[in-house]
Chain A
């Protein structure tokens, strides 16, 4: 029943964050550095997941141009920089990955 614990735990923290101020209905002013700092959270956490996922795709560090996860990851980042569209990035990145992995047998 690990999933039940996981989902209830995620619910508890998410709902608490969203509800606590509504519940007490008090006026709160956050220091500006806090709101600025929170703006960094999503990209930072996502990057901390991406980097090991593409550099250590199969349990071992794989720093090589033969690593399709790394190559397709760099390519996706390039597409995202140019096109700034999530769906285009996903489709282009997946095509690149499949081509490298299954087409060219990297």
Chain B
């Protein structure tokens, strides 16, 4: 029997499973990175005013790490629910760019595939799946790769949230240890890697200053004002820089 025949006989199912596992495996390093986030999210939930069940439900239903954290921060600060939802929307808008990027790869799939794949479109899965779509020409079963990546990420996220919630229950007086600072320090650790150029520094400084200036606004609406000011500052500076570079390239 020749090798080609054996390959041909290999069932579709085995190919799908191979893709599925490859997707999970490719996401593994990113999953490891998400573990502390999930645990810290679960631990901080109750001190921030979200019940243990609410924290689990949020990870199960919303499945968006950074906006879940921001929701906790806003809950703890006493923000109104519509403000938290609006902030979630703004923070997750970047996923629109991811999905625009992936549409050509999923448009042939039925909606019963596209719905769960869209649900699992996190930063981590986008990174893993983009690698797969660039890596090989045979994309027949690539959506199984996507599914493997998102389910691995999802399972880990929910599990780590549960772990964190359990930790919080074990040590209920953790709030008194200064856990409100744990949120700030986590956010600081997340922001600093972004600070690689002047526009980003300017955006962040303006946002911080505007957040202080608008702190008296009701429902934490100042957050939106600060975000808009920061983003427009950074974006304007960046576009100015690009224009300058372009002008220099034109003039010899």
Would A90 and B85 count as touching, CB distance under 8 A? no
Would B88 and A21 count as touching, CB distance under 8 A? no
A-contacting 9-mer, from B55-63, B133-141, B159-167: B55-63
B54 within 8 A of A: yes
- What's the Cα separation between A98 and B114 when bound, in Å? 47
Shortest beta-carbon distance from A14 to chain B in Å: 5
Would A86 and B118 count as touching, CB distance under 8 A? no
Contact flag A20-B99 (CB < 8 Å), given A6-B84, A10-B64, A43-B203: yes
Q: Which residues of A contact B57 (CB under 8 A)?
A: 3, 7
What's the dominant secondary structure at chain B's contact region?
helix
Would A17 and B58 count as touching, CB distance under 8 A? no
- A49 touches which of B50, B70, B118 (Cβ 8 Å): B70
- What's the Cα separation between A48 and B82 when bound, in Å? 18
Contact flag A48-B211 (CB < 8 Å), given A2-B81, A19-B119, A77-B188: yes
B77 within 8 A of A: yes
Q: Which residue of A lies closest to B182 (CB)?
A: A94
Q: Which residues of B contact A98 (CB under 8 A)?
A: 177-178
Shortest beta-carbon distance from B116 to chain A in Å: 10
From 21 to 73 in chain B, residues with beta carbon under 8 angstroms from any chain A beta carbon are 33, 36, 40, 50-51, 53-54, 57-58, 61-64, 66-68, 70-71, 73
A104 within 8 A of B: no
Would B90 and A40 count as touching, CB distance under 8 A? no
Q: Which residues of A contact B115 (CB under 8 A)?
A: 19, 22
Q: Which residues of A contact B63 (CB under 8 A)?
A: 14
Interface residues of A (CB under 8 A from B): 2-3, 5-15, 17-23, 25-30, 33-57, 68-69, 72-73, 76-77, 80-81, 84, 86-87, 89-90, 93-94, 97-98, 101-102
Q: Which 9 pairs across A and B sit closest by C-beta, in order of nearness? A: A93-B185, A80-B192, A89-B189, A19-B118, A51-B208, A44-B230, A25-B107, A9-B85, A48-B226
Known contacts A41-B93, A52-B211; 19 additional CB pairs below 8 A are: A7-B57, A10-B85, A11-B61, A15-B119, A21-B103, A30-B96, A40-B199, A40-B230, A40-B234, A44-B230, A45-B70, A48-B208, A50-B188, A56-B215, A73-B181, A76-B184, A77-B192, A84-B192, A90-B185
